[in-house]
C-alpha cells in the first residue's frame, strides 16, 4: 500500500479556510486594501484551490465518466473565489465600493485569464471559456451579496 503525504493538501485547505474566515470576520478595510484582498482571492487563493482539487483528484483517482472530477470541482472553486473577490472588494469603510469592484474586474482579468488557460487547457477550450464567461457576473454577484448582508445588518441594528 502506497503512503501519500497529505501535507500539501492540509496546508492549501488551511490557507483557503483562513483567507475566507479573514474576509468574513475582519473589519472593513481601506479602499486599496479591499482591492488587494479581492485580487488575492482571484489569483493566489485560486491557484491554491486548483492545486488542492488536483491533489484530491490524483489522491482518490475518480474514474472519468463524462465530465472529470477536477473540472467540476475547479469550476465551483472558480465561481466561489470570484464571488469572494467581489465581496472582499466591497468590504470597505470608504464610499468607493462600486469603484473597488470595477478595479478588481479590470486589473484581475489578465492574471485570471492566464491562470485559467494554464490550469485548464488540458481539459477543454470550452471549460476555459466557461470560466471566462462567469468572471464578471461572479465578481458582481459577490458585490451584491455584500450589499444584501449589509442591508440585513442595518435592518437588524435599526430594529
User: pLDDT tens-digit profile of 89-126?
Assistant: 999 888 888 899 999 999 999 999 998 888 888 777 88
3-state SS of the chain?
CCCCCCHHHHHHHHHHHHHHHHHHHCCCECHHHHHHHHHHHHCHHHHHHHHHHHHHHHHHCCCCCCCCHHHHHHHHHHHHHHHHHHHHHHCECCCCHHHHHHHHHHHHHHHHHHHHHHHHCCCCHHHHHHHHHCHHHHHHHHHHHHHHHHHHHHHHHHC
The gap between the terminal CA atoms of the chain, to the nearest Å, is 61
Question: To which residue does cell 473577490 refer?
Answer: 85
Q: Which residues of the chain have pLDDT under 70?
A: 1-4, 60-67
Per-chain mean pLDDT for the chain? 85
Domain ranges of the chain: 10-152
Q: Which three cell numbers stand for residue 29?
A: 478595510
Could you give the CA distance from residue 90 to residue 22 in angstroms, rounded to a whole number? 14
Contact between residue 23 and residue 91 where contact means Cβ atoms under 8 Å apart: yes
Could you give the CA distance from residue 70 to residue 95 in angstroms, rounded to a whole number? 39
Q: What is the CA radius of gyration of the chain?
A: 17
pLDDT of residue 1: 39
Q: pTM for the whole thing?
A: 0.85
Amino acid at each position: 500500500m502506497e503512503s501519500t503525504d497529505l501535507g500539501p493538501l492540509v496546508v492549501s485547505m488551511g490557507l483557503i479556510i483562513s483567507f475566507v474566515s479573514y474576509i468574513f470576520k475582519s473589519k472593513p478595510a481601506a479602499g486599496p486594501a479591499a482591492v488587494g484582498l479581492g485580487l488575492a482571492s482571484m489569483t493566489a487563493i485560486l491557484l491554491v484551490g486548483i492545486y488542492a482539487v488536483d491533489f484530491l483528484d490524483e489522491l482518490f483517482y475518480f474514474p472519468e465518466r463524462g465530465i472529470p472530477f477536477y473540472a467540476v470541482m475547479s469550476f465551483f472553486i472558480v465561481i466561489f473565489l470570484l464571488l469572494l473577490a467581489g465581496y472582499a472588494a466591497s468590504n470597505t469603510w470608504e464610499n468607493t465600493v462600486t469603484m473597488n469592484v470595477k478595479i478588481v474586474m479590470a486589473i484581475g482579468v489578465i492574471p485570471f485569464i492566464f491562470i485559467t488557460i494554464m490550469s485548464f487547457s488540458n481539459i477543454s477550450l470550452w471549460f476555459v471559456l466557461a470560466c471566462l464567461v462567469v468572471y464578471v457576473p461572479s465578481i458582481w454577484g459577490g458585490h451584491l451579496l455584500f450589499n444584501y448582508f449589509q442591508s440585513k445588518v442595518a435592518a437588524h441594528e435599526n430594529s
